[in-house]
Amino acid sequence: MLFDTEDLRGRAGEVLRGGAALVCAAALAGCADPGGTGSADGTAETVVSRGDVSATERADLEPVFSEAGVTGAFVLHDTRAHTSTVVNPQEASERAVPAATFEIPAALIGLEAGGFGSVDAILAAGPENAGAFTEPNGPAFQEAVRRVGHEQMAAWVDRFDYGSRDIGGADAGDSFWLEGPLEVSAVEQTEFLSALTRSALPVDREHQAAVREAALMEEGEGYALHGKTGGDGADAPGWWVGWVDSEAGLYTFALRLDAQEGAGAEAAVPLGRQLLVELEVLPPEASGG
């Protein structure tokens, strides 16, 4: 399905802008809600409440990072209650390159505007044995981005209101999500994924369903875990983003580890699982994968 580029730019962010703007970087950096309530020991504190979205800081979970010898942030968003839980709020609002987590919006764009008939067709555009969608597939998505074309890709990223919405000029090539200039925060990741889980993005609902299905990592008793990793721990941060659909609710999450030795995607997943268990979104038996 092709759209006029000017139409895409003119309608940029109309679906997502309102929701994403509710949790702003300045607020998460410390603009506390005057009416918020924190626990007596300081382990949980409401740091922002704007519109129908409020964020609660969980300082008691910060040792999950320090005990692992890494630094980073975690955001859990309850898509039904419109509330978020944040560990390390200042870092959660800071943008960084999305690395392979950008392959989620790239898959949607590839299906919508790149002529691909399925997510499997996108993966097949890369070398053989590229792996599952839940893992990084750089060559396949670089080919998908080339097929979409720079102008259309820029228009779609803008329309999604994805992070900084800046993929650079035509000379930026096909690595703008790996090397920049595109950047996104953990808060923005959860807002984008919230729209995807609700089929609220401005693309075909069937394409959104196809990407959701491809992102399935595991199913357990009463829950389904979807996710996507990104980053190698060297020049890019380590990411794990996704959502949990369970009997208790529908939650999107984003964990970002600062770029440093041992802080890539392989480290992000076990830390993310630990936090999801601590927050009672995943059952204890899901902590180890």
Q: Distance (Å, rounded) from C-alpha 231 to C-alpha 84?
A: 24
Q: What is the structure's pLDDT at 95?
A: 96
Kindly calculate the radius of gyration of the chain based on its CA atoms and give it in whole angstroms: 18
| 4-15 per-residue burial string, b: 16 or more CB within 10 A, e: under 16 | eeeebeeebbeb
Q: Distance (Å, rounded) from C-alpha 265 to C-alpha 228?
A: 9
Task: Say if CB 158 and CB 12 are below 8 A apart.
Answer: yes
Q: What is the structure's pLDDT at 86?
A: 97
Q: What is the structure's pLDDT at 80?
A: 92
What string of pLDDT tens digits covers the 289 residues of the chain? 443 444 434 443 443 444 443 333 334 444 334 334 444 444 555 554 444 568 999 999 999 999 999 999 999 999 999 999 999 999 999 999 999 999 999 999 999 998 899 999 999 987 765 678 998 888 999 999 999 999 999 999 999 999 999 999 988 778 899 989 999 999 999 999 999 999 999 999 999 999 999 999 999 999 999 999 998 655 678 999 999 999 889 999 999 998 776 667 788 999 999 999 999 999 999 887 5
Q: Residue with structure tokens 């702003």?
A: 24
Task: Say if CB 222 and CB 137 are below 8 A apart.
Answer: no
Distance of CA 203 to the CA centre of its chain: 17
pTM as predicted: 0.83
Task: Say if CB 283 and CB 247 are below 8 A apart.
Answer: no
List the structure tokens of 56: 């609660």
3-state secondary structure of 122: helix
Q: What is the structure's pLDDT at 131?
A: 74
| Domains of the chain as residue ranges with CATH | 49-286 (3.40.710.10)
Name beta bridge partners: 229: 240
